[in-house]
Structure 1
Amino acid sequence: MKTSKIVKVFLIASTMLIIPNSILAIGGASGARVDYQVQGKIGAIKLNPYGLSPLSAVIMNGGYELSDIKVSIVPKPNGQVISYKVSDKKAKTYGGIPIFGLYPSYLNTIKISYTKKSFGKSERVVDEVYKVTTGGVNIEASGNLMQRGIPFENVEVIKLDKEFKDRLYLVNNTSGKYNGKSSQAIWNNPVGGALEWDESSNVFIIDTKGQIRWYLDNNKLMDWNNIYNRGIMMGFRQNVDGALSFGFGQRYVKYDLMGREIFNRLLPSSYIDFSHSMDNMPNGNYLLRVASANIKRPDGKNVRSVRDVIIEVDKNGDIVDEWKLFEILDPYRANVIKVLDQGAVCLNIDATKVGKTLSDEELAKMDTSDAFGDIAGTGIGRNWAHVNSVDYDLSDDSIIISSRHQSAIIKIGRDKKVKWILGAHKGWSEKYKKALLQPIDSNGQKIFCDDEYSKCPGYKNKENGFDFTWTQHTAFRIDEKSNKRYVYITAFDNGDARALTQPPFSTMKYSRAVIYKIDQKNKTVEQIWEYGKQRGNEWFSPVTSLAEYHKDKNSIVVYSATAGMTFDLNKGVALGEPRPEIDEFKWGASEPSVKIRFYGSGIGYQAMPIDLEKVFN
């Protein structure tokens, strides 16, 4: 009995000791408390703070005011260090120290230095260490055979000069239509449009060791049951504030690299089908490549147009201006459209049509039919222009567009007048002839071309010689080297329908990255640099791709985004898969300083360096 009483007393006493501690841990008499795990002198680590950027985190400020912040992600063995400073305003925006560049499926080590302040008392903390484990990368497969691997796992760094070892490249690829998810609707009010570009996207950042350091969990942005909230993501640009602007389907958006939404908007109701290009203007407005939601043709038919309208929207999403290209240019110029390889009309890949072109009879039959939509043809409501980039020229308040299906780079003023056309002269009506640029050599002498300036000396696979661009992607003004008279332009010359022909053998096709110098006063153009001819067909990208100047390293970044994609002309089947390749060149160099190749990733679209100083400043 005595023993039993002693046990009871002990149990009661133990319970009295335990219960108050449990209550205090969840609030209780001492009040609410935060009991997240805190490794250092400030707050807990919050992974994926906004749900879209799983390889990012925030070390919460713990109630302190933080300043003088430096962050370093300790690399894997032989890996690339990511280091950056964080401004005081960014620390306030994120409620702590933003962490970017974590490795997936890894116990990451983070070093931070900062000054913490509370009630006038400050403490400097140097090289405090935090550790955090990340999960695997959740990039959903499309189920499409265009994607045969994980896009960031099979990366080969072929060449890397030391000046570029700190580079981070954002890569925007597409793995094809989601089987069973995409294009389950008809965009028919009125007829036409380009909704069928309703595909999956892979958007990620790699370092120069080929390791993924960030990705966008874009499935969290999409609602595949909502026609207005899905589509392929395109037109990525890094804004001056470091955030990314881009669009998909019927939306245009802006998010920062931590995944924080800045805006996510439907296109204005008069327009549909964003793709390719969202250019951020110096005044904070945006230029969007869209199409008309409802336009009445000269024959009285109402249609949706296809990739042939540019709009300017302000910070609030209101329309400032529009460029209806079917009114400014000639939607019936068919010289290029007739000779396009119908197997690869940008992202409309169809192996059964490889090598086929449009005859005059087929084109005429189409023009009198009600065949509208995302089909290569002439007239409003068909894919006659296929504008794939828009760039703003502040010097004279104009836009520069790349029109794939006219094989032309065109400058258009605010008054909607064509200022110049960089492209083959053949097929342009009298109205546009004064705008056509005359090729010249480095001595200012005219270069003469055959067949109404469509076959210039460099159109064959030679080392040197001027050529125009053919079914090109991207035409970007090099602002740092241009002025009011002279404009430097980078472009990716895909090379299909070169010289308005298809070669006897598809293996004769090649692509180029090219730079032109345009004298706007004398209406002349000089080709000052090119790369790609020497690579021949193995570097040929029939669709997509990019070439762009970057001031920070005085370099040209090139993404040959579908290099290696080949087809059997007789059987109509794919032979080779795309092997997208990033190449970066010092200004004027004949060979790249960086060469990075991807395998099994599907179709590449664009790639570009990311500047962390902008992101966290």
Structure 2
Amino acid sequence: MNCRKTALLKTGRVARLVLCSAMLGAAIPTMALAIGGASGAHVDYQVQGKLGEVIMNPYDIAPLTAIIKNGGYVLKDVTVRIVPKKDGQEIKYQVANKHLLTHGGIPVFGMYPDYVNTVEVEYSRLYNGKWEQAKESYTLYTPPVYTEPNATKTQKAALFSGADVKKVDKKFSDRLYFVNNFLHKAGKGTRAVWNNPTGGALEWNYYPQNFIVDTKGEVRWYMNANPIYDLKSIYNAGVMMGFKQNNDGAMSWGFGQRYVKYDIMGKEVFNRELPAGYNDFSHSMDNSPNGNYFLRVGSSNLKRADGKNVRTVRDVIIEVDPSSGLVQDEWRLFDILDPYRDVNFKVLDQGAVCLNIDASKAGHTMSAEDLAKQDANDKFGDIVGVGPGRNWAHVNSVDHDAEDDSIIISSRHQSAVIKIGRDKQIKWIMGSPEGWKKEYQGKLLTPVDSKGNKIECEAGGSKCPGYENDEGGFDWTWTQHTAFKIDSKSKGDIIYVSVFDNGDSRGMEQPALPSMKYSRAVIYKIDQKKMTVEQIWEFGKERGNGWYSPVTSLTEYQTDKDSVFVYSATAGADFDINTGAFKTDPNPYIMEFNYGSKEPAVEIQLKDTTGYQAMPFSVDKAFTK
């Protein structure tokens, strides 16, 4: 009787199979021998080139990357070139020794999606005590871009449906732009809210769309977030925001209840839950020159003056040590600022309160009666309103000024940029003077012209010459995003700050027609000793409502090219005013300006994607330095 058949039919299957193997002896090789064993371990799949195997998407979250393993050799003097498509943008970089050692081979970055890429590598390898030089090509297919479906009419099949490259000056032709976008809310990710205690912004949950685009409009990297992200998990979801490329080339950011750092190949540096006393990260994770990270979070449990316990919303800054994760300091803004200043709430367009966009409420504002009802009904959470436990501050950026150990914050719902010292004392407030209590009046900056003369502003100080749709003059920022000090141009008491002025509630009012709204990228010169502010550059008025971004966006100086990068991230969305339904997603603008220029050197418009922020990405930082 067949030995194997006997073993399967009777009990004691394992023992009988072993016995059968012994009986058959060398006539039939065992499974172990078939895999390797005495015949030796070997690679039994296709291998290109003179080195080892190629590992595609080596860390699971970056499908357009690969590692050409070193094959057991010592490598040095490595150069990688991604052969461009016809008339495409070349990506070429040298690889520092630390990256060759870390990845066990040559990291490949910048391939095209759904394409058979040609990757050229040059290197020296050590074999039998001698260095051999080599140059070879690898042919690597990469998958199409992927994004989670969310059952909305406006979602496209691809990562985004295209890019319109309008202008790229030669100086910027080697640029790569990291784009931080996301999908609309979906049923999968809106299943929970905090209730112990009440409040917070847990339901703020959007699937990410993070990618790198070149100056030809081609995607050269994208994130498959699923291995580190789960829309259905309280502690593994949220809105991915606050991306920064660190000096070591790796990317840091946060989402929901986590803050993380990964290199661009997808290798984890750290991935941590927020410290237990804090919740709901979003918007900003600043990597300070002092080596620490400054995170914008909320308090997990605050006892208000009325005895109620709440989770707070976007109004706490913490400083964490990157190695230990220990909290070094905190800025509790509800103790430092006035959480009951309500003048801005009464003029905010309720149709676009950051990402909570509801076209059916476009043009609607809140009254004092509406705000009073919130208190009377104990309504807390991610809602516009006064007092801790509501979205009274909506801080969307924090920038640590290491020169005087202070933080500069952008508070959207106060339409103010504010500097606060390590001692938790306010140094200055840049914003309309309306509605600030007496104790804050001495901290307000005075607008001046280029000669230092005071600019007289009307309507309680909210309407300055230039706030309307004309050139020149001065204007405050309104529901702004990002306030970053330009370190290389600042010195001592004279500092320069870049801001994206979204423009809702400009002049402390809603305009007669929605089409009159516009956004600006703007740079201010601040004399911290004289307590004055001068507007030295702006862009956006001339583009009018077509460039208007009601929410999100960024303006940031770039040292490497002495330029100003701007992302108007929610411009160009079309919606039905009667039903509140969006006909299209936004069509964001990527722009870069030579410093001081009024015309962009780069203009690329993305299509049908909800944008948050973007920035130039440095391949040299990532691999060469």
TM over 0.5: yes
Q: Give the match for residue 89 of structure 2.
A: 80
- Following TM superposition, by how much is the alpha carbon of 1:289 offset from its aligned partner in structure 2, in angstroms? 0.3
Of the candidates 323, 328, 332, which is equivalent to residue 324 of structure 1? Answer: 332
Q: Name the residue aligned to 1:596.
A: 604
Aligned-pair distance for 1:487?
A: 1.0
Query: Is residue 397–residue 413 contact of structure 1 (8 Å, CA) maintained in 2?
Result: yes
1:233 matched residue in structure 2: 240
Q: Deviations over 1:45-102 (max 9, x none)?
A: 1100011100000000000111111110000111110001100111000000000001
CA distance in 2, matches of 1:436, 1:80: 48
Aligned AA (2:69): M
Give the match for residue 310 of structure 1: 317
What is the CA–CA distance in structure 2 between the aligned matches of 1:146 and 1:410, rounded to whole Å?
Answer: 37
Match of 1:345 among 353, 373, 394: 353
Give how far 1:343 is off. 0.6
Give the secondary structure class of the aligned counterpart of 1:415: coil
Deviation at 1:118, TM superposition (A): 3.4
Hey, what does 2:511 align to over in structure 1? 503
Distance between the aligned counterparts of 1:145 and 1:232, measured in 2?
21
Distance 2:576 2:444 in 1: 37
1:541 is matched with 549
3-state SS in 2 of match to 1:552? coil
User: Is the CA contact 1:343–1:356 (under 8 Å) kept in the aligned structure 2?
Assistant: yes
Q: Aligned partners of 1:382, 1:353: CA distance in 2, in Å?
A: 19
Q: Indicate if the aligned counterparts of 1:25 and 1:33 stay in contact, CA closer than 8 A.
A: no
2:219 aligned with 1:202, yes or no?
no
Comparing 492-501 and 22-31, the one that deviates more: 22-31
- C-alpha distance in 2, partners of 1:606/1:389? 11
Q: CA deviation at 1:226?
A: 2.0
Corresponding position: 1:460 with 2:444: no
Cα distance between partner residues in 1 of 2:206 and 2:584: 21
Q: In the TM superposition, what are the counterparts of 1:197-596 in structure 2 within 5 Å?
A: 197-315=204-322, 316-569=324-577, 571-574=579-582, 577-596=585-604
- Residues 179, 212 of structure 2: 8 Å contact kept: yes
Residues 107 and 335 of structure 1: CA distance in aligned 2, closer, same or farther (over 3 Å): same
**SS of alignment partner, residue 372 of structure 2:** helix
What is aligned with 1:168?
Answer: 176
Report if the CA contact (8 A) 1:108-1:132 is conserved. Answer: yes
Q: Percent identity?
A: 61
Aligned partner of 1:607: which letter? Answer: A
Does the CA-based 8 Å contact 1:152-1:211 persist in structure 2?
Answer: no
The match for 2:76 among 67, 74, 80 is 67
What is residue 7 of structure 1 aligned with on the other side?
Answer: none
SS of 1:241's equivalent in the other structure is: coil
1:133 — aligned with what?
Answer: 141
Aligned partners of 2:547 and 2:314: how far apart in 1? 27
Say if 1:146 and 1:176, in contact at 8 Å, map to a contact too.
no
Number of positions where the alignment pairs a residue of Structure 1 with one of Structure 2: 596
Structure 2 equivalent of residue 57 of structure 1: 66
SS in 2 for 1:452: helix
| Counterpart contact for 1:355–1:569, Cα < 8 Å | no
Q: Compute the displacement of 1:518 (Å).
A: 0.4
Deviation of 1:281 after TM superposition, in Å, equals: 1.2
2:124 is aligned with 1:115 = yes
Matched residue SS, 2:439: helix
Indicate the RMSD between aligned Cα atoms, in angstroms. Answer: 1.7
Aligned with 1:209: secondary structure? coil
Q: Give the C-alpha shift of residue 500 in structure 1.
A: 0.6
Q: In 2 relative to 1, CA 576–258 (structure 1 residues): closer, same or farther, beyond 3 Å? A: closer
Q: Please say if 1:613 is aligned against 2:613.
A: no
TM-score normalized with structure 2 length = 0.93
> Paired residue for 1:95?
104
Q: Is the Cα contact below 8 Å between 1:411 and 1:420 reproduced in 2?
A: yes
Amino acid at match of 1:87: A
Q: Matches of 1:566 and 1:132 in 2, distance apart? A: 40
More displaced 10-residue stretch of structure 1: 218-227 or 510-519: 218-227
Structure 1 unaligned spans of 5+: 1-17
**Cα displacement (A) at 1:182:** 1.1
| Partner residue, 2:15 | none
Deviation at 1:570, TM superposition (A): 5.1
Query: Per-residue displacement from partner, 1:133-189 (whole Å, max 9, x unpaired)?
Result: 1111122232234534534331110111111110000111111112x2011012111
Runs (5+) with no aligned partner, structure 2: 1-26
Take 2:176 and 2:197, find their aligned partners in 1: how far apart are those partners?
44
Q: Kindly tell me: are residues 199 and 47 of structure 1, through their superposed partners in 2, closer, same or farther at Cα, counting changes over 3 Å?
A: same
The CA distance in 2 between the partners of 1:571 and 1:136, in whole Å, is 35
Moved more, 377-386 or 571-580: 571-580
The amino acid of 1:294's aligned partner reads: N
Once residues 46 and 153 of structure 1 are traced to their aligned partners in structure 2, the CA distance between those partners, rounded to angstroms, is: 29
Offset, 1:201: 1.1
Q: Distance in 2 between matches of 1:106 and 1:577?
A: 27
Aligned partners of 1:430 and 1:96: how far apart in 2?
63
Q: TM-score under structure 1 normalisation?
A: 0.94
